[in-house]
Structure 1
Amino acid sequence: MIIWIDADAAPRAIKEMVYKAAKRTNLPVRLVANSYMSIPDNPLFTITVVESGPDEADRYIEENIAKGHIVITADIPLAAKVVARGAHAINPVGVEYTEKNVGERLAARNLMSDLRSAGMDTGGPSALSRKNVQDFANILDRLLTRLMKRE
């Protein structure tokens, strides 16, 4: 099992939670980003820098994940692809994407994108709150516990 982070937009607090969980469970973490970023000095953690461009990090993650891996991403189209491949996806506010909910979330995302393209102001995402970070930590812990029991 590998934990992947779509790292360009991942908040620092979320990455820190993943690092702690990875150290506790001895799981590797693979960050993927369009530019280099500093990561803790730990052999469990690696960063892959991909070419700049839209969806390059997403493409890399999609091509390299396997069934049972975990992907941390706010990108709903990537989450849909991850779930379709038998891996697990969690967004930074603590929602696990599943076969049951990812289609609905993708449809809502596409609707909002269409509305923005038509000139409607739909607002942006809220700032990450302490509750979001706690929700994320809880869902990550539950998912890791569930998956490690299967191994």
Structure 2
Amino acid sequence: MQILVDADACPGAVKAVVKAETVKIGLQPLFICSNAHFSRREEHAQMIYVDRHPQAVDLAIANRVNPGDIVVTGDYGLAALVLGKGARAISHRGKLYTADKLPELLLQRHILAKVRKSGGRHRGPAKLSKEDLERFKANFCALLCSESGC
């Protein structure tokens, strides 16, 4: 089992939870981000940097994911690819992506893209709250246990 993290937009607090929980079970997460988001080396994590192309991180994750892996991402399209490959996906806010919820999420993404393309604006995501982080930790730990058999 691998833990792959879409690290471009992943909050630092979420990265910290991923590292702390994976160390407990002897795993090293894989953080994938574009070189536009280059940062210091993450301890207890493997880093992969890809080109600045808009979908480069998603493609790198999709090419590496296997059944039983866990992917941390806020991207609905990537979550759909991951689920199609037999892996699990969780958002930075702790929402577990499921096949029955993705069509609605992808439609929402499509509508917002049309609004932006026509010159409209919409609110971005709210700041990560303490409740979001607690939900992420609880659901991420549950995923780890279910996939690793702890």
RMSD: 1.4
Do the aligned partners of 2:19 and 2:29 also contact (CA within 8 Å) in 1? yes
Partner deviation per Cα, 1:81-127 (whole Å, 9 max, x = no partner): 11111111111011011111122211111112112222332211111
TM (norm. structure 1) is: 0.92
- Counterpart of 2:116 in structure 1: which amino acid? R
Residue 103 of structure 1 corresponds to which residue in structure 2? 103
User: Which secondary structure state, in structure 1, belongs to the residue aligned with residue 89 of structure 2?
Assistant: strand
Residue 43 of structure 2 corresponds to which residue in structure 1? 41
Distance 2:64 2:116 in 1: 32
Do the aligned partners of 2:19 and 2:28 also contact (CA within 8 Å) in 1? no
Partner deviation per Cα, 1:120-149 (whole Å, 9 max, x = no partner): 322111111111111110110111111122
- Counterpart of 1:137 in structure 2: which amino acid? K
Distance 2:134 2:109 in 1: 24
- Counterpart of 2:55 in structure 1: which amino acid? D
Residue 126 of structure 1 corresponds to which residue in structure 2? 126
> How far does residue 23 in structure 1 lie from its aligned partner after superposition?
0.6
Partner deviation per Cα, 1:58-80 (whole Å, 9 max, x = no partner): 11000111011111111111111
Q: Percent of aligned pairs with the same residue?
A: 29
User: Which secondary structure state, in structure 2, belongs to the residue aligned with residue 104 of structure 1?
Assistant: helix
Aligned residues: 148
Q: Write out aligned runs for 1:31-70 (5 A).
A: 31-35=31-35, 36-42=38-44, 45-70=45-70
Distance 1:22 1:88 in 2: 16
User: Which secondary structure state, in structure 1, belongs to the residue aligned with residue 71 of structure 2?
Assistant: strand
For structure 2, which runs of at least 5 residues remain unmatched after alignment? Answer: none
- Counterpart of 1:142 in structure 2: which amino acid? A
For structure 1, which runs of at least 5 residues remain unmatched after alignment? Answer: none
- Counterpart of 2:19 in structure 1: which amino acid? Y
Q: Write out aligned runs for 1:1-151 (5 A).
A: 1-35=1-35, 36-42=38-44, 45-149=45-149
> How far does residue 41 in structure 1 lie from its aligned partner after superposition?
3.0
User: Which secondary structure state, in structure 2, belongs to the residue aligned with residue 96 of structure 1?
Assistant: coil
